[in-house]
Chains A and B, each alone.
Chain A
Amino acid sequence: MKKTPSFEDSWKVEIRRGILQYAVLAIVSRHKEEGIHGYGLARELDEKTDGLLGVKEGTLYPILHRLRKERLLNVRTEKSEAGPVRKVYVLTGDGDRVYRELTSILGSIFDKLEALR
């Protein structure tokens, strides 16, 4: 029998989805000059958040794809240690602007939420 997810589980999924795009922009922003590849991004996300977001690494690629289409990320290629060429993501000018704007919005949201507690 299929178990219905609890309210907290569904809520976490929704929150995670929204935050994940921001987290990806934040990590790429930390590597402004050299950029970062998909695997590196997945590792850094896991390390920096102690796995709190519980992200399946494969689901990061559709998010990267969307952010590229929105012209927030650019891609260049480099040779990977594993052999084949890999994509390296860098923030575009628009990406940098959006990231800073989202950071400010998130800061305000957390401040207001703090006041509610």
Chain B
Amino acid sequence: MSSREIAQIVEDYLKSVSRVLTSGFETEDMLEELETHINEAFQNKVQERPLANKIDLLREVLNDLGEPKEIAEEFKRADVLLQGPEEDDRRTFWLVVRFAINMVIAVVAAWFVSTLPDAGVSFYWALVVFLMFGLA
């Protein structure tokens, strides 16, 4: 058992948590907090029981923290409670704005491609292709 092995177990745990959470600044923030928590809890357990197997102590720490799925569920729940109807309205507004911008870009790009002398592409055909790219 080495400190590298311990670091690997911690890294694996944090990766599992990260996989079940949506990516973002807040997730990174929480992962950092979990890492600090693990280090402190582990050092504390080692001080309390210096003769115990360190891997076992680390497993205890991770078990006390909970399954990544449990943390993710609580995180999602907290986020849902924070997002009221205003947040939904804001999200819809930005979706509409994004769609409108995509439309304008697609029309301009289709017009440009259709005016190229050697392209041989019709405006509507180019528009459909650019819209598909924009919506993807």
Q: Do A and B come from one complex?
A: yes
Residues of A near any B CB (own CB < 8 A) = 17, 37-39, 42, 56-59, 61-66, 69-70, 80-87
Of the candidates B36, B70, B79, which one forms a contact with A58 in the assembled complex, judged by CB atoms under 8 Å apart? B70
A42-B37 contact in complex given A59-B71, A63-B74, C-beta closer than 8 Å? yes
- With A and B bound together, what is the CA distance between A59 and B44 in angstroms? 20
In whole Å, how far is B32's beta carbon from the nearest beta carbon of chain A? Answer: 8
In whole Å, how far is A72's beta carbon from the nearest beta carbon of chain B? Answer: 12
Are B33 and A61 in touch, CB under 8 angstroms?
yes
Query: Smallest CB-CB separation from A83: which chain B residue?
Result: B39
A58 / chain B contacts, CB cutoff of 8 Å: 17, 34, 37, 65-66, 68, 70-71, 74
Of the candidates A17, A56, A66, which one forms a contact with B64 in the assembled complex, judged by CB atoms under 8 Å apart? A56
B75 / chain A contacts, CB cutoff of 8 Å: 61-62, 65
- With A and B bound together, what is the CA distance between A6 and B67 in angstroms? 21
- With A and B bound together, what is the CA distance between A37 and B40 in angstroms? 11
B82 / chain A contacts, CB cutoff of 8 Å: 66, 69-70
Of the candidates B29, B43, B71, B77, which one forms a contact with A82 in the assembled complex, judged by CB atoms under 8 Å apart? B43
Determine if B88 is an interface residue (Cβ-Cβ < 8 Å).
Answer: no
B56 / chain A contacts, CB cutoff of 8 Å: none
Are B30 and A84 in touch, CB under 8 angstroms?
no
- With A and B bound together, what is the CA distance between A70 and B64 in angstroms? 27
Determine if B41 is an interface residue (Cβ-Cβ < 8 Å).
Answer: yes
- Hey, what's the 0/1 contact readout for B14-57 against A, CB within 8 Å counting as 1? 00010000000010011001111101111110000000000000
Are A65 and B36 in touch, CB under 8 angstroms?
no
